[in-house]
A and B are shown apart, each in its own frame.
Chain A
């Protein structure tokens, strides 16, 4: 994905470094890219959730098959991954709203906020894993 084509389609000659392998990403940058990745996962994952909702509400047989699928270890793993993306995106999103109120907008505040997001996300994802299994 990160193949860069410098020069060929760039309209001017400003120097641009988009080589992520030479970047040192600070913690807030990592939480930010994870927010994007989890958001994209959720966007496409909604198809699966709607399918489960459709099947489980459609008929008693459908409800029974959804219950059966949710007992499958591989399905549990996929559900856990989806719930992890959801919890991470939710927590990182709430941090955004808090920052919009003007809280934690300094450099040190940003790093602290990122640390809190990571800690809360890991904790909630572990708890979700215990709940699913």
Chain B
């Protein structure tokens, strides 16, 4: 197997599996939240708080944040290695790509920590 530093030592098959498992988690959470909002159009603050007070919802939300971390990273990595290249962008391609990838890693870690803070910080 060919690996180099810019592939971060991962394999395509591993990414393929992670992308699909995380997709199922994200789809389930999306349907869960959308149906909660659809079925309760006039929700009050105590009701809304109660939704995120349960352990199961906190667990599901944390699982979703982890799925976003994996799924978002694989997706943004794919986009960046397709378009932010020296072939597409000229000499700055590599700098642009690495910069963009670092931004994505930073942002997705921020999402995770922020989410944990929202769920357990109060």
Contact = CB atoms under 8 A, between A and B. Distances in A.
Nearest to B24: A97
B91 A97 contact: no
Given A10-B87, A39-B75, A54-B118, A131 B38 contact: yes
Contacts of B76: 40, 43
Contacts of A3: 89-90
Contacts of A1: 83
A58 interface: yes
B111 A57 contact: no
B23 A16 contact: no
A97 B52 contact: no
6 contacts: A8-B91, A36-B79, A39-B79, A50-B114, A50-B118, A58-B122
Interface of A: 1-5, 8-10, 16, 18, 36, 39-40, 43-44, 46-47, 50, 53-54, 56-58, 60, 63-64, 86, 90, 93-94, 96-97, 100, 131
Q: Closest 10 A-B residue pairs measured CB to CB?
A: A5-B90, A9-B86, A63-B45, A60-B45, A43-B72, A39-B75, A54-B118, A93-B23, A50-B114, A46-B111
